[in-house]
Chain A
Amino acid sequence: MMEQKMGLEIHCQVTGTKSKLFCKCRCDYRGKAPNANTCPTCLGLPGTLPLLNQKAVEFAGMTSIALGCKVPDEIAFYRKNYFYPDLPKNFQLTQYNAYDITSIGVEGGLEYGDGKSVRIRRVQLEEDPGRLVYDGGNMETSVYALIDYNRAGVPLVEIVTEPDFVDPKEIRLFLDKITSIVEHLGLCGTKLEGSVRCDANVSVGGGKRVEIKNVGSFADVEKAVRYEITRQKTMTSRDLEVRSETRHWDDARKVTKESRTKEEEQDYRYFPEPDIPTVVLGSEFVSSAQRSMPELPDARKVRFVKHGLSAHVAQVLINNKELADFFESAIKFYSSPKEIANWIVTDLMSFVDERQKEQERSMFAGLKVGPEHIADLAKLVDQDTINRATAKQILGLIVRPGEMPSQVAHKTHAGKIDDVSELAQTIDSVFETEHAAVQDATLNPNAINFLLGKVMQATKGRADPKAALEMIQKKLKEV
């Protein structure tokens, strides 16, 4: 049995803080002209000094707590020395775990899926490098590269797991949970392009560990890992040696491939950053962070269940903060949690465009339906104004243009027929055309259902069956 083990290294940009980790430049670099979002400090100009963003430290602390990590009384920053053109200082300011020193979070654990759990090795705070822009799209096909330092210095929270995953499916579930947690903390706007990145490591049958880098989206991590497991198993079955290496995910071909540049065992020559004094978090840090922490997905789920939702429906909602928020806003318009939750989870979800969702990183990409619409729809059904089948049709009609269900129901006369005379007219015409059936019904009460069916058919289901039945019975007596 070739058992596989997998671990993850996740980077989340701390977009919840306004400024970069060590200077006053903004974190929101997207859409800016290249190198416009820089200052002497994040460009690493001679003589500049890092000024630590305390807000980012608080976010990293909250993440550590949310992932069940121990938070030390003091933290320090370390220099990770290596040369790369996207690194303005040719070292990265990060944290370190050795010689009795730890990063902001260590030795945590997280439950996810149904009763699964993973150990969290560490959570650390560090700076993002700049970005290389290749003229030919990638390194192989380019004559030159341009460097954009707009991103350099944006705070990153790095989450490293132990190699506790055995099934690639677990990775997807875990990443869903992590996404939900960082969204709930306000740490990271995961929908922003490049705001969350994930590296994975895979070893099969106790063999060498292979790292996979450059996986652009969480959705592809599972694919990358599956590919790598197959590759390693195939190699082993052919008696080929699996080397310990770093492979890159080729997004176009959906394969992992050898790195073009030989990545030797790098010696990062870590040492403490002398320009940032040790940050004393103190004993109060954890308790005060806990007090100011927003509600986490697990607590939110409990609250949803108290609203009468099933555990499953509540889970689906909290897995995606966007859905959960949608639900909470909808029940403010109209308080029928169970009905609304079901509309969101079973019906609305079927309209999600998977491709657009990945592209725009929003469940509702391309949809114009809002919480007020779903609330309105639930209300129409609850109040018996329309039946469920009609409601589903209406949802289909409004989901893209974003009209109010009640208006659509009114416009298309989709509402139940309240008007007695309108219903009476329909019954009259059914009685005229279904002469034989009327005769039957006068003798056999069971045959009445046939007539009711015809009335419903003629009104396209808009007739209130109870009222129609009463009127048919009354009319039969008159015959």
Chain B
Amino acid sequence: MPLYTLGAGQVAAGVKSREFSAEEYIQQLLERIEKVEPKVNAFVTINKGAIEHARTIDKKIRDGEQAGPLAGVAVSIKDNICTKGIRTTCASRMLESFVPPYDATVVTRLQDAGAIVIGKANLDEFAMGSTTEFSRYGTTRNPWDISRVPGGSSGGSAASVAAQECAASLGSDAGGSVRCPASFCSVVGMKPTYGLISRYGLVSYANSLEQVGPIGRTVSDVVSVLNAIAGADENDHTTVGGKPVYTLQERKGLRVGLVREFIEDTDPAVAKMILRAMDTLEGQGCKCKETSLESVAYALASYYTIATAEASSNLARYDNVRYGFDMSPEGYEWNSYFAKARSSFGEEAKRRIITGSYVLSSGYYGKYYLKAQQARSLLKDELKALFKSCDVLIGPTMPILPFKIGEKIDDPLKMYLVDIDTVIANLAGMPAISVPAGFVDGLPVGLQLMADEFQEQTILDAAYLFEQAANVRGSPEL
């Protein structure tokens, strides 16, 4: 079996037992990448230093030093997470030549655990989108059907894992950006509790909503990556708690709630798959029931108000003064220079900057932004109440199957609607995971599981239970 097919746990075990070297493994991956990238386009940048890094890990192992739980494991990093010395573009012209002088905390922690950054994964510009079509570096294609979108905005991350171009990936999830592509690409993707993972070095899109999240081909790989990156960071005041350790465990008797509203407006084929997933869980000894979450009605409006408000301010710094792209200031005064430089944002980024500026403008702040925050607390309260009688809530990650590239790109509202089931976890700050549930006509369907704040272990237990029972396996032919 080729080395590139191995999961994170297998790679670390193989490298540490010197069954194969990290260098051999990375070499095979780079060949794999060369072969499939023309079809998938998951990467913006390949890390030229990956082989060199692999050699240092091999040397450590030869010298009998600790190489870490992820020794040699190749990880792709969404290109909105800073990597020291490797350019970080956010798939935008605005950061075309930005080479961060520092590593994001999650990158440092992964490397401390022995992982190797194989490359920077494609995304929608500044993580704004659900398809990875809004990238300056071209659309990423779904490895299961390259005429279709991989989901987004962490489309490059999920596609690179699905296409076996790396063992695992880090994405970021502000409204479903890890789970949506995980679902569309039939891999496992998790959005942890707000505050569990450091955002230091994650280029902000919607600060109060987003978290870095791991993507892997199995729940086990997601646990390994999560263990490496989770825990409080002195560089991010929004992180809390100590350093948790998650395990893979069989747990029986979980109370599972299927959220009726998640099923109602969903593609019937997807809904059917989710109902079957509930049966599977029941077969594993879970106590399942149907339940309701009424404030779902406010979720999308609340999400897009808060996210665009924050984004409009976060993206203000891209004025091409301190970093950016080549554009001579000759003949401009600063105001017109800013305007000219900032016209280089893509369509979706511009749309969200304008929307966000509007909802924050004087006279509208109370009407939109504060209302959105009220809806957010309402939703959180309702979820908190639900979690008194349920350990996990389930539903489809995406209400539809992966669609054709270009199908929704001209209709922003239709595009926003596909986030209906994922934004809830971000608004509530609660953890959620997408695990492969099966295929409809060869297209992946993801099951989403949500739990109360900091109940990552519960989610992982349920996801692992489902994964073992459902046995949705396989890799796409590329």
Contacts and interface: CB of A to CB of B under 8 A. Distances in A.
B360 A47 contact: no
9 contacts: A47-B81, A47-B202, A49-B238, A50-B237, A81-B312, A91-B316, A99-B366, A270-B365, A275-B237
A91 B88 contact: no
Given A91-B316, A269-B362, A46 B335 contact: no
Contacts of B200: 47-49
Contacts of A47: 81-82, 88, 100, 102, 104, 200-204
Contact of A274 (B207, B360, B365): B207
Interface in B158-208: 199-204, 207-208
A50 B98 CA distance: 20
A90 B88 contact: no
Given A46-B203, A274-B207, A83 B338 contact: yes
Nearest to B88: A46
Contacts of A46: 82, 88, 90, 95, 98, 100, 203-204, 317, 323
B261 interface: no
A271 B360 contact: yes
A332 B362 CA distance: 58
B67 to A, nearest CB: 28
Interface string B330-372: 0000110010000000000000000001001110011001100
A99 B373 CA distance: 13
Contact of A49 (B95, B237, B357): B237
B319 A83 contact: yes
B316 A81 contact: yes
Interface in A416-438: none
B235 A51 contact: yes
A88 B313 CA distance: 12
Nearest to A261: B335
B90 A271 contact: no
A85 interface: yes
The B interface is mostly helix, strand or loop, or mixed, namely loop
Interface of B: 81-82, 88, 90, 95, 98, 100-102, 104, 199-204, 207-208, 234-238, 309-310, 312-313, 316-317, 319, 321-323, 334-335, 338, 357, 360-362, 365-366, 369-370
Contact of A269 (B88, B102, B238, B313): B313
A176 to B, nearest CB: 37
B208 A274 contact: yes
A382 B17 CA distance: 91
Interface in A83-103: 83, 85, 88-91, 99
Nearest to B319: A90
B82 A81 contact: no
A88 B322 CA distance: 8
Contacts of B238: 49, 274-275, 277
Nearest to A43: B322
Q: Top 8 A-B pairs ranked by shortest CB distance?
A: A90-B316, A274-B208, A274-B207, A269-B360, A46-B203, A47-B201, A47-B82, A89-B317
Nearest to B208: A274
A372 B329 CA distance: 59
Contacts of A40: 100-102
Nearest to A22: B237
Contacts of B323: 45-46
B360 A44 contact: no
Interface string A24-63: 0000000000000000100111111111100000000000
